[in-house]
Amino acid sequence: MPVQTICRYTFIPILSAFFCLCSPQVVAQTENDTTDTGKKPATLHPGRQLSVGFNLMGPVLNNLVTNRHGLDATADYYLKNEYYAVLEGGAGGSEVHYSDLKYTTNNYYICAGFNKNILTRESNKDWDMMFAGLRAGWANINRSEASFIVVDSLWGIKEGQSPAKSFQALWLELNLGMRVELYKGIMAGWNVRSKFIMNGKSFKDLQPLYISGFGRGDKNAVFDFNLYLCYAIRWNRVGER
What pLDDT digit, counting tens, does each position of 159-171 carry?
889 999 999 999 9
Residue 141 falls within a domain, yes or no? yes
Residue 38 falls within a domain, yes or no? no
Average pLDDT over residues 124-153: 93
* Buried b / exposed e along 202-230 (16+ C-beta atoms within 10 A): ebeebbbbbbbbbbbbebbbbebebebeb
* Contacts of 142 by beta carbon, 8 Å cutoff, 6+ apart: 105, 106, 107, 164, 165, 166
Query: Whole domain around residue 61: which residue ranges?
Result: 3-32+45-235
Residue 241 falls within a domain, yes or no? no
Number of domains in the chain: 1
Residue 39 falls within a domain, yes or no? no
CB 214 within 8 A of CB 58: no
Residue 40 falls within a domain, yes or no? no
What pLDDT digit, counting tens, does each position of 188-235 carry?
999 999 999 999 888 878 889 999 999 999 999 999 999 999 999 999
Residue 136: what pLDDT? 98
User: CA 57 to CA 225: how far, in whole Å?
Assistant: 8
CB 11 within 8 A of CB 196: yes
Pick the range with the lowest mean pLDDT from 34-38, 42-46, 105-109, 218-222.
34-38
Average pLDDT over residues 41-45: 69
Residue 59 clears pLDDT 70, i.e. is over it: yes
> Could you tell me the CA-to-CA distances from 79 to 48, 50, 74, 82, 131 in Å, in that order?
7, 10, 16, 7, 14
Residue 57: CATH number of its domain? 2.40.160.20
